[in-house]
Structure 1
Amino acid sequence: MGNVFSVSISTNDIAGCCDCTVARANYIFKLAENRVTLRTELQKLRELKNDVNRKVDVAERQQMKRLDQVQGWLSRVEAMETEVGQLIGDGAETIEEKRLRGCCHPKHCISSYTLGKKVARKLQDTATLMSEGRNFEVVADIVPPAPVEEIPGRPTVGLESTFDKVWRSLEEEHVGMIGLYGLGGVGKTTLLAQINNHFLRTSHNFDVVIWVVVSKTPNLERVQNEIWEKVGFCDDKWKSKSRHEKANNIWRALSKKRFAMLLDDMWEQMDLLEVGNPPPDQQNKSKLIFTTRSQDLCGQMGAHKKIQVKSLAWKDSWDLFKKYVGKDALNSDPEISELAEMVAKECCGLPLAIITVGRAMASKVTPQDWKHAIRVLQTCASNFPGMGLRVYPLLKYSYDSLPSKIVQSCFLYCSLFPEDFFIIKELLIYQWICEGFLDEFDDTDGAKNQGFNIISTLVHACLLEESSNTRFVKFHDVVRDMALWITSEMGEMKGKFLVQTSAGLTQAPDFVKWKATERISLMDNQIEKLTGSPTCPNLSTLRLDLNSDLQMISNGFFQFMPNLRVLSLSNTKIVELPSDISNLVSLQYLDLSGTEIKKLPIEMKNLVQLKILILCTSKVSSIPRGLISSLLMLQAVGMYNCGLYDQVAEGGVESYGKESLVEELESLKYLTHLTVTIASASVLKRFLSSRKLPSCTVGICLEMFKGSSSLNLSSLENMKHLYALTMKDLDSLREIKFDWAGKGKETMGYSSLNPKVKCFHGLREVAINRCQMLKNLTWLIFAPNLLYLKIGQCDEMEEVIGKGAEDGGNLSPFTKLIQLELNGLPQLKNVYRNPLPFLYLDRIEVIGCPKLKKLPLNSNSANQGRVVMVGKQEWWNELEWEDEATLTTFLPSFKAI
């Protein structure tokens, strides 16, 4: 390029160019040559620009930002391209003019000089740009992250109230850490993304919002890197540091900022100090929100507030389902809308299942398709498109994370019960014990405590749901389907469960399917009889409950079940047990409650391993003498609605009455749990004189005490483990006395009540029915831990807690009450004379109590808005309230029936 400006011009040329100087002549005569050179140099500059642009593009794909000097250079090159293009065009016109007019034409001489000078300067500028461009070793730099970065996520449906609760918690000074817990697929991540993105749309005082996905197998260094990307530069120098050095750097950076940390999908406790994260508190005003499937983890992390993300209510479920199915499918046939609702209900409010099923049904436009979908979802949901590939594997992470094989076995056992079935915790634990799952302890109490701990583990892992009545748990339907999927398709469990509950069966499945099975549940069907002799060498549990048509099991049916441990026939119409029940030598749990059995067969004496016997049926009128005492391993006996009567039971000398049955129960060395119905005052007296039985009694029903006008409940004081008390059909009972001091003083005036009396501290459930002459139940002040109270059909009942009780001993009844049901009490005027706090109350039902005009409520009794009040609209309209604030508080709680 240097010779562009070395121009050789002769004297003759100078003389012929209008007295131009040598320099001017040089611009003129080299114009054509310089123009060609400029075009070449411009092409080289374009090539260099393209190289630089490619480097910039690569860097920007790595979320880097181009340097300002690079952008300036690219802009100057683009300007140069435009200017040179114009010059090259002007140069062509000037040369053409020179050819036509002659080289020495004065006008041409001036224009050629001007253009030649411009071309020469552009050559020089091009050279400069080329030199600058070749020096760009670095074309882009790391972009300082934005204070909040948007997280991709689908719009939430039905999570608005939970979102509001979380956002309000963020504004509370004392709340630094919030744990969001819930079932897999319930929308925790979606909710957390919505919270993150809300920071973009609203003003806040946080310097930085940091989103990190922790995952099931957390990598602390990866977590540290993701945090550092928001507060520093994650370059090679950073990556070469030790985890401890990184923690120090993160600590120093975050200690100078007010941050909001969002940690998604946590499975185990994380040491924030090890990561370098300063714990959020009232001093630094920072916040940390994390999602998890474990309520326990919320406690382990020290969350100041734990918020459950629950399944969607029906309206929200239906809205979400319609969104993913689409109008075309829903409107394609008049019958589909109703069928679609049935399909949506099978998802039980779990957003992941709703979306999966909704997408699968979006192309289904015939009623037959929808009917088939319903059948598949109800019988074998794992075969439905997407459930076995997407939904169940996600839920199975929670199963895989359970702390032991024992807990996993206990979880899978719950799948034997039908959909939406409320499982009694204590009976479930007894079945686990009899199955051999709970072998950690030799004593019953230790095993039961372990069982309750396992239930808590499953509830806190969101794999079981606890009902409002804390005695029960239930499966979420989709979780139950996942458990059945595991037992039918997964490894060592494959084929070991045969579960066909609520399937409309009228006869048992083919016995061929029974042979290799360990657990069979045919609950809630219409099987009428069981005949034959199935060979089941491995069968340990057989559930036939709720087969309301089942009347007969043929002799020989139990012949080849040597390892059967749990047999449940509850709520069937079986009239008698076959004599070959004697073959069940391994049987440990037998439930005959609610059956039509009138007489227990003497062959039951062979059930020498039996630990749990439930005979809660009013039909039993004959128990062979010596049968109960021969079952030496019995730990729990359920005799609600049957048992201790005054007369000798039907069956003559082979049966027994009050004395022998009490004696046989007393002889049971391992008996720790007894529920019993007592039907006379004399039998009660004999029962209470026993040294063993009162302390074993957890539930007692007193009924039909003929001729007894009073009852001294202090006689039950030795029932230290009494959980449930029922009194019914005591037509002549007028008063309940109570010797509270144990000194022979019976009192119905409560002016000097002793609040330290602990007679009924274990009592949780009380039911009073058809006790026509009773005026009140003031003795309930001695049951401070009462959870459930039902009073029905007591014609003379005027008060629940009588006048005067509120004046003595500073006793406050019902502080732990959860449910109160009052039905058919025409004279009832008061429950209690003063408002009560009702810290846990969630339901009040009042029916047929026309004189009850006021409830013991004030605006502080609402239990955070969870109370539901049920009754007739006419009764509600006439209620009197403590004040306007109380009415306002409870007005939304009422449900008319």
Structure 2
Amino acid sequence: MGNIFSIELSLDTIITCCWNCATGQASYICNLENNLHTLKNEVEELKAIRSDLMSKVRIAEDEQQLKRLDQVDLWLSRAETLINDADQLIVQSPQHVEKLCMGGCCSSHPRSTHKFGKQIARILQEVKDQKQKRDFSDVASKPPLPSATERPSEPTVGLELNFNKVWSCLQKEQVGIIGIYGLGGVGKTTLLNQINNKFHDTTHDYHVIWAVASQDRPIERVQDQIAKRIGLSNEGWKSIEEKAEDIFQVLCKKKFALLLDDLWERFDLTRAGVTLPTQENGSKVIFTTRSRDVCCQMQPNMDIRVECLPPEKALKLFEEKVGSETLQMHPDIRKLAKAVAEECAGLPLALITIGRAMASKKSPQEWEYAIEVLRQSTASVLPGVGKEMYPKLKFSYDCLPDEMFRSCFLYCSLYPEDYYIKKDKLVACWIGEGLLDEHTNLSSARNQGHFIIGSLIDACLLEKRPNNDFLKMHDVIRDMALWIAGESENERFFVKSGVRLKEQPKAKKWEEVTRMSLMDNQIENLTEILECPNLQTLFLGRNDLKVIMNDFFISLPMLRVLDLSDNRHLEELPVGIAKLVSLEHLDLSFTRIRKLPVELKTLAKLKYLNLEWTRDLELIPQQLISRFSKLQVLKMVGCGCGCLLVLEEMEHLKYLNVLTLSFRSASELEKASRFNKFFSCAIEHVCLEYFRDSRSLNIMALAKLQHLCTLKVSRCMDLEKVKIERNIIEGAGCFHSLRSVILVKCNHLRDVSWVTFAPHLEGLVILECKGLEEIISEEKLGEVAELKGNSNLFSKLGMLYLFQLPKLKTIYHHALPFPQLEKIIILGCPMLKKLPLNSNSAKGQRLVIEGDKGWWKDVGWEDESTKIAFLPTFKPRIYYEILDIN
């Protein structure tokens, strides 16, 4: 009976299968295996199409700064969904295939197999259809300009009422132009920032434009800023009128709000091309100025004076800057702090500056002295700038330790407004000028210079920049410094920097001038003798100099510092430069000079010569360098004239202390290492560039340089490997002073593991190394794991910049603590999916990670706590930072 029952069940199954076939339902089952095979192939092709399209999109977004088209985004999203659905079905397919029988035409579970086969057929058709829709003539387009761009702004005290006034005026149709005026440093720019950001945070139909019109800046600067904001190209413009016409044609069709900061004279809106605001067009102009006269000349519909803070708000701001710790050091200090705040007369900049200066004063006596100094200040100030401001701000200057500090501070005003001053260059000028103490060695003098910079920053007279190599002087502080120099009997400054001069300026009393700055202008020719018998410093850098007449320098017997750097059209030095018999500091960097005149041999006092990045320099006369018997600093990185030609002469310079050099082959580097000066000098910067003769580089000689701070390896196209010999790794001081490594376009390097042997590395920049796969190779590091120097990998690293490294997959295979890391910028590294960070790396950090939004979304994290810790650190970025990689 049992056998008969079994046969009956089998027959039922067969009958059911036959019924399915008879009713036309079996095709999904019979075609299941073929459809599965086809689906797998079609999905792989769809993935490849998606990958190619994404590459085009990333290039358009990252490099061309375009915005992907909505239809492209929709296609990619649909493709992603189909691929995920197909992959899930493919994963489920084995269990359904196992149920097939009778040659694949039947199934032991026909209903579920039929349903699955139908899903496969449907998704297969949808994948095919999606592939057919893949052709796009363009993948991205220029994004629309945002209505307003957010500006950085700090929390403020006491501006709420003024802000409400301005914002209320903006709502009135009859108000088209609003003027904001008041003392320098009273908060006008801060107020304008708040207005801008209010536009950014609210819904409106204005196109908001921010522009700055600083003192002595021509109308072209504002035009350029407007043109950039409204998407106009400035190519082909020859005159103000041409710019104005193009700007007008755009603005007359827009409802705009022009925020115009820092007017020093009447600004002709019509001449600039700005459509005048009317009730009909609804546009607005809001400007700030330090002068009430200028405000009236602009004929605003409404003007608002920004007053100094009332006593209670002024005291609140002052106490915030002093800090609660100092205020609680003695019972009398809080009362004395109120008296100091009163002497600041409610001026925010004075409150902030002096408040920070007093933060370190812990005794009542120091506070009483501050009150006395502030009350006794009787110096007059420049008309229209504010009689109440400079005497108050000058307190920080008066409190500097001595005249040396004060002279060094005033020297910074020679640079243009908003200029980033490089610390090392500034100190070198101070040394050449003789502002510092006499020192037995250059290193000691430099240390003193950097100590003074630190003190000036602590006194809030200078501002340090995010890149610690640079500093900046606030424009109001700079104005104060120039005012002080103008009042001084010992200092006579002539400063016309950054004001777009096209010709050599004139002055009535050249004989009194001790320091002159004409840098950052458009002067092409110097054709008149400069009769300044007492001039000690002359800044002519960043001009368009082509011709300097031979007798230009003839009447400068006291000149000690001459800066001609960044004159990209200057090809020849006048032989008359030989008349500068007192010259100690000569900067010719970033010029196009072709040869050094032999007449330079008369500069017997020369101590500093900068020839960096003089690519066109082909001839340095024999025995010229050796004639500079007092030379201490010689900079030749990027110099067209090879260093080997002068290394032999350097041997005779007993005071030569600092060198920077470039090498264009491994053999040249090897030859240079035979000279005594190569190791006896403090070689601070070495550039290895355009190597064509070596696939492998042994940098043993460089590893032994005790003072090497910066190493740049650039465009060494054949270089595949950098070797470090074990004997120098085991020795003391391997790359002990190396702080910065820059790699540019070394396309065959696969890793840069050797940088781990620089224990104090602070900055690592790698740019366009197309073959680079990993920063630190775990395998290579393991080969020398038993050696010293690797226990604190990247323990001093402060910044890591990785740009356009298409094959980079790994920075390091394990997470690192990075105790000093402040910034990571990663752009154009699509294969880098994980960072060497974990939750421990985040402890006590203020890390900022910048990169492409799309890349950031794909970054994988070690765990959820790491992800939570680092997600807030990200800032989107689609452009290269301006890097000082030279």
Identify the TM-score tier after normalising by the shorter chain: 0.5 to 0.7
Identity of aligned residues (%): 42
Alignment-derived partner of residue 646 in structure 2: 661
Amino acid at match of 1:720: Q
Q: Do the aligned partners of residues 732 and 432 (structure 1) sit closer, same or farther apart at CA in structure 2, a change above 3 Å counting?
A: same
Alignment-derived partner of residue 555 in structure 1: 550
Match of 2:298 among 355, 367, 378: 367
TM-score by length of 2: 0.58
Alignment-derived partner of residue 36 in structure 1: none
Q: Structure 1, residues 633-678: CA drift from partner, whole Å, max 9, x if none?
A: 1100111101564xxxxxxxxxxxx654110122211111111111
CA distance in 2, matches of 1:349, 1:474: 22
Match of 1:639 among 636, 653, 658: 636
How far did 1:408 drift? 0.6
Q: Do the aligned partners of residues 423 and 455 (structure 1) sit closer, same or farther apart at CA in structure 2, a change above 3 Å counting?
A: same
CA distance in 1, matches of 2:160, 2:507: 40
Alignment-derived partner of residue 615 in structure 2: 618
Q: Structure 1, residues 746-772: CA drift from partner, whole Å, max 9, x if none?
A: xxxxxxx76x75311100111001111
How far did 1:680 drift? 1.5
Alignment-derived partner of residue 696 in structure 2: 710
Alignment-derived partner of residue 625 in structure 2: 628
Q: Is the 8 A contact 2:601 2:624 kept in 1?
A: yes
Alignment-derived partner of residue 434 in structure 2: 436
CA distance in 2, matches of 1:536, 1:768: 45
Amino acid at match of 1:729: R
Aligned residues: 550
Q: Do the aligned partners of residues 383 and 491 (structure 1) sit closer, same or farther apart at CA in structure 2, a change above 3 Å counting?
A: closer
CA distance in 1, matches of 2:179, 2:800: 39
CA distance in 1, matches of 2:820, 2:727: 30
Amino acid at match of 2:390: Y
Alignment-derived partner of residue 733 in structure 1: 719
Alignment-derived partner of residue 738 in structure 2: 763
How far did 1:445 drift? 2.2
CA distance in 2, matches of 1:449, 1:640: 23
Q: Structure 1, residues 600-652: CA drift from partner, whole Å, max 9, x if none?
A: 1111111111111000121211111111111111100111101564xxxxxxx
Alignment-derived partner of residue 334 in structure 1: 176
Which structure: larger Rg?
1
How far did 1:505 drift? 1.1
Q: Is the 8 A contact 1:687 1:694 kept in 2?
A: no
Alignment-derived partner of residue 828 in structure 1: 808
Matched, 1:681 2:681: no
Q: Structure 1, residues 489-533: CA drift from partner, whole Å, max 9, x if none?
A: x24256x00111111211122143533110011111111211111
How far did 1:864 drift? 4.0
Amino acid at match of 2:298: P
Matched, 1:873 2:828: no
CA distance in 1, matches of 2:572, 2:293: 52
CA distance in 2, matches of 1:602, 1:511: 33
Alignment-derived partner of residue 514 in structure 1: 510
Q: Do the aligned partners of residues 863 and 532 (structure 1) sit closer, same or farther apart at CA in structure 2, a change above 3 Å counting?
A: farther
CA distance in 2, matches of 1:789, 1:562: 44
Match of 1:314 among 126, 150, 153: 153
Alignment-derived partner of residue 545 in structure 1: 541
Q: Is the 8 A contact 1:581 1:604 kept in 2?
A: yes
Matched, 1:889 2:869: yes
Q: Is the 8 A contact 1:605 1:627 kept in 2?
A: yes
Amino acid at match of 2:677: K
Q: Is the 8 A contact 2:571 2:594 kept in 1?
A: yes
* Structure 2 residue ranges without an equivalent (≥5): 1-150, 194-260, 263-287, 307-379, 879-886
CA distance in 1, matches of 2:727, 2:721: 18
Alignment-derived partner of residue 575 in structure 1: 571
Matched, 1:584 2:515: no
Alignment-derived partner of residue 758 in structure 2: 783
CA distance in 2, matches of 1:319, 1:824: 47
Q: Secondary structure at the match of 1:642?
A: coil
How far did 1:695 drift? 3.7
Q: Secondary structure at the match of 1:393?
A: helix
* Structure 1 residue ranges without an equivalent (≥5): 1-311, 375-380, 646-657, 743-752
Alignment-derived partner of residue 499 in structure 1: 495
Q: Do the aligned partners of residues 757 and 390 (structure 1) sit closer, same or farther apart at CA in structure 2, a change above 3 Å counting?
A: same
CA distance in 2, matches of 1:350, 1:333: 17
Q: Secondary structure at the match of 1:820?
A: strand
CA distance in 1, matches of 2:190, 2:432: 32
Q: Do the aligned partners of residues 721 and 324 (structure 1) sit closer, same or farther apart at CA in structure 2, a change above 3 Å counting?
A: same
CA distance in 1, matches of 2:575, 2:620: 15
Q: Do the aligned partners of residues 414 and 348 (structure 1) sit closer, same or farther apart at CA in structure 2, a change above 3 Å counting?
A: farther
Q: Do the aligned partners of residues 477 and 325 (structure 1) sit closer, same or farther apart at CA in structure 2, a change above 3 Å counting?
A: farther
Q: Do the aligned partners of residues 832 and 433 (structure 1) sit closer, same or farther apart at CA in structure 2, a change above 3 Å counting?
A: same
Q: Structure 1, residues 538-568: CA drift from partner, whole Å, max 9, x if none?
A: 1000101111x22111111101000011010
How far did 1:717 drift? 2.6
Match of 2:408 among 404, 407, 410: 410
CA distance in 2, matches of 1:321, 1:680: 64
Q: Is the 8 A contact 2:578 2:602 kept in 1?
A: yes
Q: Structure 1, residues 283-333: CA drift from partner, whole Å, max 9, x if none?
A: xxxxxxxxxxxxxxxxxxxxxxxxxxxxx9536569939727943887785
Amino acid at match of 1:682: S
Q: Secondary structure at the match of 1:699?
A: strand
Q: Is the 8 A contact 1:842 1:863 kept in 2?
A: no
Amino acid at match of 1:707: D
Q: Structure 1, residues 800-844: CA drift from partner, whole Å, max 9, x if none?
A: 111136652452322111111111111111111111222222211
How far did 1:336 drift? 3.8
RMSD: 3.4
Q: Structure 1, residues 234-287: CA drift from partner, whole Å, max 9, x if none?
A: xxxxxxxxxxxxxxxxxxxxxxxxxxxxxxxxxxxxxxxxxxxxxxxxxxxxxx
Alignment-derived partner of residue 559 in structure 2: 564
Q: Do the aligned partners of residues 334 and 889 (structure 1) sit closer, same or farther apart at CA in structure 2, a change above 3 Å counting?
A: farther
Alignment-derived partner of residue 699 in structure 1: 685
Matched, 1:671 2:656: yes
How far did 1:710 drift? 0.3
